[in-house]
Amino acid sequence: MIAPDGPQLRDIHLPAEPAWWPPAPGWWALAVIALLMIGVAIVFVRKYRDVLRRRREVMSELERMAAQYDRDADAARLVSGLHQLLRRVARRHDARSTRQRGEAWRRTLARVPLDAATMAQLAELEQHLYRPPTAFDHVATISAVRRWLQQALRPRHWKPLPAEQADG
């Protein structure tokens, strides 16, 4: 039977609040993306710190060589040490640089763009390596090596290998 005033209606009931767990699929995707970005950032920061550490090590080795020369004035040791340091840094960009001599070695050094005076000083360093110990301007040589290293330790400063060298 129906009431004379009409059907008996109940109050409107709102649905229960959604639970906070488990989150919607969009939140899961956002969490995964955020974790990936954090992981990639950590990898890049570690790599950058390693690059900076290697740069500091190379430059501190150069400073140690200069200080050692100031103490003992052994030109042959300084020239040999500077040359080996240049070779080690060049080897990171061109594995063939360890075997190069003369013009090929100068071309490898020239892949790091610097002024002509610096390049001439570096070429003179190689000449001092094969001569009997003679007097040379060690301050200018160390300065030239420092300038070359500062540029060479940043890979974007290296010019690409010419096509004829890259093949052979």
Residue 93 placed within a domain: yes
Residue 119 placed within a domain: yes
Residue 149 placed within a domain: yes
Residue 29 placed within a domain: no
Q: Which residues fall within 8 angstroms of residue 104, CB to CB, at 6 or more apart?
A: none
Q: What is the DSSP letter of 4?
A: T
Residue 7 placed within a domain: no
Task: Quote the domain boundaries for residue 124.
Answer: 57-158
Residue 64 placed within a domain: yes
Q: What is the pLDDT of residues 39-89, one digit of tens each?
A: 999 999 999 999 999 999 999 999 999 999 999 988 889 999 999 999 999
Q: How far apart are CA 153 and CA 55, in angstroms?
A: 6
Residue 39 placed within a domain: no
Q: What is the pLDDT of residues 98-139, one digit of tens each?
A: 888 888 888 888 888 889 998 889 888 888 887 776 777 889
Domain tally, the chain: 1
Question: Which tokens hold the place of 47?
Answer: 């790599």
Other Cβ atoms closer than 10 A to 33:
10
Other Cβ atoms closer than 10 A to 75:
16
**Residue 119 Cα to chain centre, angstroms:** 23
